[in-house]
Structure 1
């Protein structure tokens, strides 16, 4: 069969409804499994045009790394999406391709190298200890999300950027809105205007008084070096703030929800990590692979020419969405993929942070925050346990990220 024939035969009269929402918990939706044994599937998101869905590890990495698939093109199209409002350019990194992406990312990439981020370990540990001190002073039970998982990465990214402490709550409110997936368009537009005006006030403050922070770097790149525009400055600033804590907040709670439950064979995962603290970095990588964090945040990429992918001919102008969660459970890459193995041998790279030029800028920071979070909670709260029955845990439903609304714990 020719690629054209495969392309035509793969077209389905009724594309699959996507995303495959999981009602609760962190299991991968079963509808992904049969898709690995066939070429790309045609899917229909709640809004926008139909798309191809890539779920296999090899195909997902190809889409993420092949520059013939464009993120920028989505801004000009009726892009497949889960919310009524389409993603606009906004001046940030996630809506542009090279060479503009290379130009803008280079401004900050040296600030997020592994060596540079490692210097923050003591500060992250200090923030974690301060939060745990407050929890222990108040006493159990406590919500690990509100009292720890949220403020740890939130405080750090705001400090790195240079956000005034009094405005931290506005960053959180804005992130809650844009990540909910259900906020009315009018509410998003109104809050966006308010938040971008607030960011503008921070920019003006740095113009008057530079500091040792990321905001100053961006302001100087705009004003002195003329390497970015004002729109690009605020676009990148917005992405730094929202992307800099929302995913890590959800993952801290997700990780502990798994570690506090009996795993396969009733293994006490937390006890094992306490006994083998050197295993924490490897455990973080396995948890990143295992947890299907991204539910519907499938930013579409458009083929800029005819491209063979997964045995299918994707025509120029057709969008492709990917499932990083499904790729991370590909049995051809990760043996026994549905089992959480804290010391899993690193034989392949998960794609939780992406791949290619759009690989997560803050990946090293997220890794370090997750490592410190595990280490400090395990050390300070050796008797940590759930404070409610498992069935009473409240999970986010049909939002961009999988996660818990609260994680009541005792110790």
Structure 2
């Protein structure tokens, strides 16, 4: 049993991933909350595992040692806890909101939100990019998409932070209280949208529920929960991590400024290079299964290392080097197979707009000796703050 997640891992997990890949196999580890899990790090094994139907997302297939968020039963019916055919059915209902055409239609509103947020930042004065820009932008976007009232959106930052990046000084009931608060809010929001529908995704899902009877009330609330949660935290960290990676590679930043057409490729590479979500959502083997030459017992928790796979030298040349023109770039940041993220296109567009807006304003580190501090989470990699100055 390995104690993998220490202070050195939180500061930079990639040396640890390199060692695990070199050792081969799947590694039995203890997570910070005391749970036991198998970590898989090689690209080929992670990619195969993401699409392996023998690995279930349904917590009903978890063994007695599994520890996870204690979600209310009404929130259990979400895409992160379902296998086909229910997963397939629910995914089809929500995927229409994330087609290339629908995402492209959201771009002007995202650009306007980015402009408004940066207009509020005084030129030349130090500001925390995470608090002033990277965090509020995704809240605006997913709030507009789902139809969450503007006055209620800031509360999601505190709720998701409690769940995804718990602090050592949090009370034992913090995660349960955060989930309960989020659940109560969503139940009230569904009731309000049912009484007064609007042109948003949640109202559309309510119509599917009430008029077509293609999803249950629990599934409806769970989809709203997943949209708010998954659509927020990863984007915050992707923007922060991406900007910091550009600061640390000034020649790459200069190339991007000189050639804005490189931006789509740059977003893909920034997503690969410092992937916010370190592991795919946990899986549970339905039967004993061999992964990376290791037999993993049924019901054990499997963590497929997306961030580790994204730096596998067997697939990526110079994987520890940021290369904004990398081609091909078959990273696994959005998953693979039937559970690939349906919001990947929105994530790419939003990150691209955010970075383009910052480049247009001239964004630079506020101090040359800034030492990054990373969230103490083995699941999510993100900066606690990033002091910057806008130069124009």
Query: TM-score normalized by structure 1?
Result: 0.87
Conserved? CA contact 2:252–2:323, under 8 Å: no
- Asked if 1:291 corresponds to 2:235, the answer is no
Cα 1:389–1:66, aligned 2, differ >3 Å: closer, same or farther?
Answer: same
- Asked if 1:308 corresponds to 2:293, the answer is no
Q: Aligned-residue CA RMSD in angstroms?
A: 2.2
Deviations 1:235-289 (A, max 9, x none): 111110011111111111111111122x3xxx43222111000001101111111
- Residue in structure 1 matching 2:252, options 269, 284, 287: 269
Task: List aligned pairs for 1:25-64, cutoff 5 A.
Answer: 25=11, 27-37=12-22, 38-47=24-33, 50-64=36-50
Count of aligned positions: 385
Tell me how far 1:86 sits from its aligned partner: 5.1
Conserved? CA contact 1:44–1:80, under 8 Å: no
Q: Distance in 2 between matches of 1:96 and 1:374?
A: 34
Conserved? CA contact 1:395–1:403, under 8 Å: yes
- 2:284 is paired with a residue whose SS is strand
Match of 1:387 in 2: 366
Q: Distance in 2 between matches of 1:88 and 1:291?
A: 32
Deviations 1:331-358 (A, max 9, x none): 0000111111111111x51111111221
Tell me how far 1:87 sits from its aligned partner: 6.2
Match of 1:340 in 2: 322
Tell me how far 1:24 sits from its aligned partner: 5.7
- Residue in structure 1 matching 2:191, options 199, 204, 209: 204
Task: List aligned pairs for 1:183-222, cutoff 5 A.
Answer: 183-222=170-209
- 1:52 is paired with a residue whose SS is strand
Q: Distance in 2 between matches of 1:74 and 1:380?
A: 50
Match of 1:406 in 2: 385
Match of 2:233 in 1: 246
Q: Distance in 1 between matches of 2:20 and 2:378?
A: 23
**Unpaired segments of 5 or more residues in structure 1?**
1-14
- Asked if 1:224 corresponds to 2:211, the answer is yes
- Asked if 1:118 corresponds to 2:97, the answer is no
Match of 1:153 in 2: 138
Task: List aligned pairs for 1:367-382, cutoff 5 A.
Answer: 367-381=348-362
Higher Cα Rg, which structure: 1
- 2:302 is paired with a residue whose SS is strand
Q: Distance in 2 between matches of 1:114 and 1:390?
A: 41
Cα 1:192–1:372, aligned 2, differ >3 Å: closer, same or farther?
Answer: same
Q: Distance in 2 between matches of 1:87 and 1:31?
A: 31
- Asked if 1:237 corresponds to 2:233, the answer is no
Tell me how far 1:189 sits from its aligned partner: 2.3
- 1:268 is paired with a residue whose SS is helix
Tell me how far 1:144 sits from its aligned partner: 1.1
Cα 1:391–1:132, aligned 2, differ >3 Å: closer, same or farther?
Answer: closer
Query: TM-score normalized by structure 2?
Result: 0.91
Conserved? CA contact 2:4–2:31, under 8 Å: yes
Deviations 1:351-396 (A, max 9, x none): 1111122111211111001111111111122xx2111244443322
Match of 1:330 in 2: 312
Greater shift after overlay, 42-51 or 367-376? 42-51
Cα 1:392–1:306, aligned 2, differ >3 Å: closer, same or farther?
Answer: closer
Match of 1:354 in 2: 335
Task: List aligned pairs for 1:127-138, cutoff 5 A.
Answer: 127-136=113-122
Q: Distance in 1 between matches of 2:353 and 2:244?
A: 17
Cα 1:193–1:314, aligned 2, differ >3 Å: closer, same or farther?
Answer: closer
- 1:36 is paired with a residue whose SS is helix
Q: Distance in 1 between matches of 2:3 and 2:342?
A: 31
Conserved? CA contact 1:393–1:407, under 8 Å: yes
